[in-house]
Structure 1
Amino acid sequence: MAVASSNLKNALIAVSAPLPSILFYISFLRQSNSVSPLYIWCYHHPLLLAFVLFFLNISLLFWVVGLLQNSHWMIDLYWTAIPVMLVYYFASHPLAESDFWRSRLVIFLTSVWCIRLSHSYFRRERWQFGAREDWRFTDMKQQYGQNWWWASLFSIYLSQQVFLLGNCLPLYVVHSKNKQLNIWDLVAASVCVAGVTIAYFADTQLHDFVIRNDRMKQLGQPLAPVLDEGLWRYSRHPNYFGEQLWWWGLTIFAWNLGCGWTFFGPLMNSLCLAYVTILVEQRMAKQQYRAEAYIRYQKETSVWIPWFKKSLARKEKEI
């Protein structure tokens, strides 16, 4: 009963959290004839307005909620929803201009990505809201100690504002330039679809592996130390690879419209994910039952990009 009550409470919090930005934007759209300075600024600065709303509603409000609950779980949930909210925001802004089909294609792809990632998130969390926060946040909380209350604003929220909005810049570009659909849009869409597909199957294979190990643990049987099947046979982090492929595919849309500078968004995100990869692998190697098998797995298997197994015997001979 307590779990159900907590889940309902967190669901209500999650649904209510973005309402200030949503209601403000709806009010802005209805004031089409307004001459107020606020309306004029919002009208002429759609990208800056997105940054301001993110800062006030996500970085600050979500941070306060996290402090009150002593758990910063909500930002992970909204990683799946914010890009969809942003693409509809950019598409509906009064200054928006774009090719009709490119806009619809990008909106559709972003929606598919959101559904895929949301499904993966809730499946991993056993269909609960706020059951736990990311283990990396918990580790940082221990590292920062009494300073965590203010350090969390920078290390969790402001940093992710930079990463997320940087990744989503192509969504703005697509809705700020009107150029006829061409072959590069199809290339971009193909890369995005490939990324979403790889990430879906990789996450599903990982989920099945975790479920099998949970059952083995309940039966008192030895756990499988390493997932070395499916996509995971060719990459140690195929889910990360698929996710990055999605963001780089989105950037091709912007590059095709003359805004290749937007590549810095996925580049920063990839560098951050490289660091996260190191943390994840260090954590795996510290678990006694899988340490030896995982170290061997590291030596044999590509980090991100799926590739054939390395010959460990040949490698040791070369060394």
Structure 2
Amino acid sequence: MTIAVEDSELPSIEDRCLSSWNSFQSSHTSWCKHWALQPVPLVNLVFFLNVCVLFWAISLVQKSTWLIDIYWTIIPPLIAHFYRAHPAATYQTLRSVVCLALTWVWSIRLTHSYLRREKWQLGVREDWRYADMREQYGLHWWWLSFFLVYLVQQVMLVGVTLPLAAVHSSTAGWRWLDNAAIAVCVTGLLCAYFADNQLHSFVEGNVERKKLGKPALPLLDTGLWRYSRHPNYFGEQLWWWGLGLFAVSVGQPYMLVGALFNSACLVEGLPVVGARAVTQDSE
């Protein structure tokens, strides 16, 4: 027996298309909401669009990557506030405030050191490492710079600030590890501060010696530089590992992966820095 169905009882093509579109919108909205509630992926997305892509495009116009240097000094506190303000954030107030304060101290110190080194001018020169790469890779540098300058910076900066994500995802009580983290962070900040000041005085002293027709001193071997060839880098690494201890304190030691990657990159690059110093001393 055949049952006749009137055309009015069947969904039209328009109705079916509208239903499919609504279903797509619903699933798409759910997907967006899901990822929006994940602070670390969201930080990566924002960083990728606003730093990797935007700053790379600006560097192509300016023919210089100088902007990434000054941005490095202010991104961590911005990321810290992002994690704290995120809707999914949950944290122990004292630990959060301490981390934010320490991160701002780090940022102000490093920004001051950078601007002083650049004679309080912006955009005059780019990092010598990138300038060397520009010359080395020639016509291919325009696209290689996206990976070698900007994408690498994302891995490093988002990586070393992972402890801030850990801090703002746990309400664990204050522990002795938090006290240890403060001690290590402050020690690192002080070490970098004094090392940078001593290096600045040494460089300025050599400039004055050259003006007077005297030979420049070949080696800084006083102060902290008496004990290490890179006390400023040591202080910087100590700072990041100290920040990582806050993540350990809230039970997320795997957040130290960023500090580990940063240290590995530094160790890999130290011979290049040392070779450049020797070359400059011989000039």
Q: Please, what TM-score do these two structures have when normalized by structure 2? A: 0.87
Partner of 1:259 in structure 2? Answer: 252
Partner of 2:64 in structure 1? Answer: 71
Give the secondary-structure state (helix, strand or coil) at the position aligned to 1:95.
coil
Shift of 1:286: 2.6
Q: Can you list the C-alpha shifts for 1:144-174, whole angstroms capped at 9, x where unaligned?
A: 1110000000000001110111100000000
Give the secondary-structure state (helix, strand or coil) at the position aligned to 1:80.
helix
Partner of 2:217 in structure 1? Answer: 224
1:123 aligns with 2:141: no
Partner of 1:149 in structure 2? Answer: 142
Shift of 1:182: 1.3
CA RMSD of aligned residues (A): 1.5
> Contact 1:43–1:95 at 8 Å: present in 2 too?
no
Give the secondary-structure state (helix, strand or coil) at the position aligned to 1:121.
helix
Partner of 2:45 in structure 1? Answer: 52
Q: Can you list the C-alpha shifts for 1:88-133, whole angstroms capped at 9, x where unaligned?
A: 0000111100001000000000010001101101010111111110
Q: Please, what TM-score do these two structures have when normalized by structure 1? A: 0.78
1:112 aligns with 2:102: no
Q: Measure, in 1, the Cα distance between the counterparts of 2:46 and 2:281.
A: 45
Where do 1:251-290 residues align within 5 Å?
251-287=244-280, 289=282
Q: Measure, in 2, the Cα distance between the counterparts of 1:60 and 1:214.
A: 39
Q: Measure, in 2, the Cα distance between the counterparts of 1:147 and 1:160.
A: 19
> Contact 2:162–2:256 at 8 Å: present in 1 too?
no
1:100 aligns with 2:84: no
> Contact 2:90–2:168 at 8 Å: present in 1 too?
yes
Q: How many residues align?
A: 256
> Contact 2:218–2:281 at 8 Å: present in 1 too?
no
- 1:201 aligns with one of 177, 194, 203: 194
Q: Measure, in 1, the Cα distance between the counterparts of 2:112 and 2:35.
A: 34
Q: Measure, in 1, the Cα distance between the counterparts of 2:281 and 2:147.
A: 33
Letter in 2 for 1:235: S
Q: Which has the higher contact order (CA 8 A, sep 6+)?
A: 2
Partner of 1:18 in structure 2? Answer: none
Q: Can you list the C-alpha shifts for 1:174-227, whole angstroms capped at 9, x where unaligned?
A: 001111111110100110000010000000000011111111112221000001
Q: Measure, in 2, the Cα distance between the counterparts of 1:288 and 1:78.
A: 30
- 1:88 aligns with one of 81, 90, 99: 81
Give the secondary-structure state (helix, strand or coil) at the position aligned to 1:286.
helix
> Contact 1:103–1:174 at 8 Å: present in 2 too?
yes
Q: Measure, in 2, the Cα distance between the counterparts of 1:288 and 1:76.
A: 24
Q: Unpaired segments of 5 or more residues in structure 2?
A: 1-27
Q: Measure, in 2, the Cα distance between the counterparts of 1:164 and 1:198.
A: 21
Shift of 1:271: 1.1
Letter in 2 for 1:60: V
Q: Unpaired segments of 5 or more residues in structure 1?
A: 1-34, 291-319
Q: Measure, in 1, the Cα distance between the counterparts of 2:187 and 2:242.
A: 9
| Structure 1 segments (4+ residues) deviating >6 Å | none
Q: Measure, in 2, the Cα distance between the counterparts of 1:279 and 1:116.
A: 25
Pair member with larger Rg = 2
- 1:159 aligns with one of 122, 130, 152: 152
> Contact 2:92–2:171 at 8 Å: present in 1 too?
yes
> Contact 1:102–1:181 at 8 Å: present in 2 too?
yes
Q: Measure, in 2, the Cα distance between the counterparts of 1:213 and 1:166.
A: 37
